[in-house]
Chains A and B, each alone.
Chain A
Amino acid sequence: MYPEYMMESIKKVAETRAKRLEIARKYGKKVFPAMSEQERADILNTYHPDYKDDALKEVRIGPNKGDKMINEVADIIEAYPRNSSSTFDLSKIDYETDVLVIGAGSAGLSAVLEASKKGVETMLVTKLRLGDANSMMAQGGIQAADQTDDNPYLHYLDVVGGGHFDNKKDLVEALVMDAPQSIKWLEELGVMFDKNEDGSMMVKPGGGTCRNRMHSTRDYTGAGICRVLRDEVQSHPDGINILEYTSATELIKDDKGQVAGAILYHMELKEYFIVKAKTVIIATGGFGRLHIRDFETTNHYGATADGLVMGYRAGANLLYMDSVQYHPTGAVFPEQIVGFLCTEKIRALGAQPVNKDGELFVFPLEPRDIEASAFIRECEDDKGVSTPTGLKGIWLDTPLIEELSGEGTIESVLPAMLRQYSRFDIDIREYPMLVFPTLHYQNGGLEINAKSETSIPGLYVAGEAAGGIHGRNRLMGNSQLDIIVFGRRAGKNAAEKVLNGVELGELSIKHADEYAKEVEKLGIDKKRISPILLPDYIPNHVKAKQLTTIYQGTLY
């Protein structure tokens, strides 16, 4: 339950609710004016964390040498590989396959399903348990322009407007044009989309959408999709070789410059394995667990950007690593769930963000970076509510949902949220949620084309690890979409490449050796190694006694 001192502010929120309800009934979702282009630019410049003077630094090695990147990303880019030619005998091959997929969220699962359907041999490696991924945690929805008042043209506009027009257009086209058939594919695999009685899709708006385009499976949309894909993959062990608790630590290339496999690492047994593969698909997700600028995160335990590091060292280009998505509504109270995602669907259902005085201060469905900046502004202007642990937040007025759509709405459409808070004795049907922006998504990533290919022959990327689709800001529901669209494209195209004939030369990790020399020239501590594989949450007083322990994720 909320502490006594917060109840004073909660009372103010309750007092202004009737008035705000009236506005909502009169104007629908447009309860506050949306920002103009100039207002958007101003608020980002003043309040968004990416725009702070010290947020970025220049990267000194690799394909993006000279580009500015988020500090924490630059740190894992300018780090030593785990593996070198002098310690690894690449002639002893443990596995051979046609298509190697690294990462088993919905992008990796989609990719491996499509590749295996083409009759090639596939291998799926995942750092933790199969299906443990950010994909499983997505709540709000998946976009697809399938309604009669909507179309792919409008979807395209929303994507590029939300992304500040930095998106790669061929990728946006692929995203919006594949969207309806992606929903169809998922439904045929048995995903239970929320529907109206006549079978039509129950669709909601999302931040930055001009139409109701958000499809959902309650507020378990990511799980609703990912667990079906996982079940389908697990039903086909003949075509798909699965290795769990195994991460990739370096890509292997051949003497012709093609990608030729990967070095794998068992997370518990600490054994390394060599996979020779004709094509490789990186589907390792994003960087949330780097805790950029010490932000809490909504991300899965394994979100440490491993694929970015491996792809970059192999010579693939990165896009927009100067940009981070902070989800406007992360929990800040109670302490046990700080950083947790409170789905955007809550606002799509009519909950309004209000400050400590109960005042609505922003259009509730601005694109995420704009909305997040507005929340930060309120808190910096002392309009936020402080928590016992020293955090600040603003209220997300959930009781409005029941007022607007009837009693029982929250229980039926937001069961995960209701359950999450009731575990800590907070009933979100009666009380608002205290929220603040939380580190959510990696907008950029490894550059791909519409076939999901990188510039390196045989190397594909899909999902959050890929860059360019969303420009510098992704809209809600387009990530669940892109992991399916580009996951499937990567799988199909990699398999086709194999079927057209791939001749691998001699295996090599010389690219990693050369990269290590560049890192050394910068005078970086030899103990700084990446990919980091996991974050490190062991307290310092314990570490001081664990004298011979090697931690994953400690960045020296």
Chain B
Amino acid sequence: MEKKMVTVYLSGELFKVPEGSTIIMALEYAGFQLKRGVGCREGYCGACATVYREKGDYKLKGGLGCQTVVTEGMAITQIPFVPAEKPLYELETLTPDVGTFTNLFPSVFRCVACNTCTKACPQDIQVMDYIQSIIRGDLESAANISFDCIRCGLCAMRCPAEIVQYDNGILARRLYGKYLAKKSPELDNRVEEVKNGKYDADIEKLNKMDRDELSKVYYDREIKIT
């Protein structure tokens, strides 16, 4: 059966591509072997940020090329990179508070709460909310809200205050993970136990077993999962 075709405009140029294609599939169908603006192809890496307008709609929308299905008359341009200077830091020397952001990301305080970043986010993250959390010094909330960020960069491209939201997000999460999240005592204990050789003899026993002995111990082990 012949596939129904739709017309799309790739950086302004007209192509006919199969209905149901994602933007990445459409680019490849048109004949481009992609090297930039493509990555995991499953919506996890953020390499394929794309802006588009749909026919009859004045709105400029953002999406991931690998996750957005083309529609008849869609005009598409990829934004494979966002120019932004990433501040350099030693996490060890930072404190988990708003002062760190004042020093490293002074632009974050330019936020005018217009919510354009949130509207641009293909992950439906409440981007403006986490920027506001940072301004309030609530890094836990910033870390949690920004958690699903894949650094596609569309927020920073649309921001009228020229904030680089995703770089703020990763720093908030790292500060939270290192300094603010409660530590697991079991983990620290186990690290010490391994260092002190508590399991060396047990492991040595397994290393010395032949295949049959190992198989027997394996199938006899008690399964305790919840």
Chain A residues packing against B (C-beta within 8 Å): 28-30, 34, 36-37, 128-129, 131-134, 136-137, 144-149, 151-154, 156-157, 160-161, 165, 169-170, 173, 176-177, 180-181, 183-184, 187-193, 195, 197-201, 205, 209-212, 217-218, 220, 222-223, 227-228, 231-232, 234-237, 245, 267-268, 298, 300-301, 335-337, 340-341, 365, 415-416, 419-420, 423, 534, 536-539, 542-543, 546, 549, 551-552
Contact = CB atoms under 8 A, between A and B. Distances in A.
Nearest to B195: A181
15 contacts: A37-B219, A128-B35, A129-B36, A153-B199, A157-B217, A157-B218, A169-B207, A180-B187, A187-B181, A192-B181, A199-B182, A218-B147, A235-B89, A416-B148, A539-B31
A330 to B, nearest CB: 11
A300 B186 contact: no
Given A192-B147, A205-B225, A153 B203 contact: yes
B79 to A, nearest CB: 13
Interface in B204-219: 206-207, 211, 214-215, 217-219
Given A37-B219, A192-B173, A187 B178 contact: yes
B33 A220 contact: no
A301 B123 contact: no
Given A134-B40, A211-B224, 10 more contacts: A137-B42, A165-B215, A190-B177, A192-B147, A212-B226, A336-B25, A419-B124, A537-B28, A537-B33, A539-B29
Contacts of A36: 219
Given A199-B182, A201-B184, A268-B35, A181 B174 contact: no
B158 interface: no
Contacts of A134: 40
Contacts of B214: 157, 160, 165
Contacts of A268: 35-36
B170 A552 contact: no
Contacts of B39: 128-129, 132, 136, 300-301
Contact of B182 (A148, A180, A198, A423): A198
B175 A190 contact: yes
Interface in B135-173: 143, 147-148, 150-151, 170-171, 173
A230 to B, nearest CB: 9
B47 interface: yes
B14 interface: no
A295 B151 CA distance: 29
B191 A181 contact: yes
Contacts of A336: 20-22, 25, 67, 69
A121 B187 CA distance: 33
Contact of A183 (B21, B44, B187, B222): B187
B184 A152 contact: no
Contact of B35 (A176, A191, A267): A267
> 4 tightest CB-CB pairs across the interface, nearest first?
A199-B182, A190-B174, A205-B225, A161-B218
B45 interface: yes
Interface residues of B, number: 74
B182 A298 contact: no
Nearest to B143: A192
Contact of A210 (B177, B186, B225): B225
B199 A227 contact: no
Contacts of A423: 67
Nearest to A177: B194
Contacts of A236: 88
Contacts of B183: 187, 199
A236 B90 CA distance: 9
Interface of A is mostly: loop
B12 interface: no
A214 B43 CA distance: 23
A205 to B, nearest CB: 4
B5 interface: no
Contacts of B199: 151-153, 177
A466 B190 CA distance: 27
A420 B151 CA distance: 17
A28 B225 CA distance: 8
A359 to B, nearest CB: 23
Which residue, of A192, A218, A228, A234, has the highest number of chain B Cβ atoms within 10 A?
Answer: A192
Contacts of A536: 33
B166 to A, nearest CB: 9
B112 interface: no
A211 B186 CA distance: 15
Which residue, of B28, B35, B151, B182, has the highest number of chain A Cβ atoms within 10 A?
Answer: B35
A470 to B, nearest CB: 15
Given A157-B218, A195-B184, A268-B35, A211 B225 contact: yes
B7 to A, nearest CB: 17
Contact of A200 (B184, B207, B219): B184
B98 interface: no
A180 B147 contact: no
B44 A136 contact: yes
A195 to B, nearest CB: 6
Contacts of B47: 128-129, 132
Given A184-B187, A209-B225, A552 B147 contact: no
A187 B215 CA distance: 35
B190 A223 contact: no
Contacts of A549: 33
B190 A415 contact: no
A537 to B, nearest CB: 5
Contacts of B28: 537-539
Nearest to B216: A37
Contacts of A145: 190
A199 B184 contact: yes
A546 B31 contact: yes
A173 B222 CA distance: 21
B40 A193 contact: no
B59 interface: no
B70 to A, nearest CB: 10
Nearest to B220: A157
A189 B174 contact: yes
B187 A173 contact: no
Contacts of B191: 146, 180-181, 184
B170 A227 contact: yes
B38 interface: yes
B4 interface: no
A300 B40 contact: yes
B185 interface: yes
A167 to B, nearest CB: 10
B92 to A, nearest CB: 9
A132 B41 CA distance: 10
A200 B42 contact: no
Given A129-B39, A199-B182, A137 B33 contact: no
Contacts of B151: 227
B206 A200 contact: no
A147 B177 contact: no
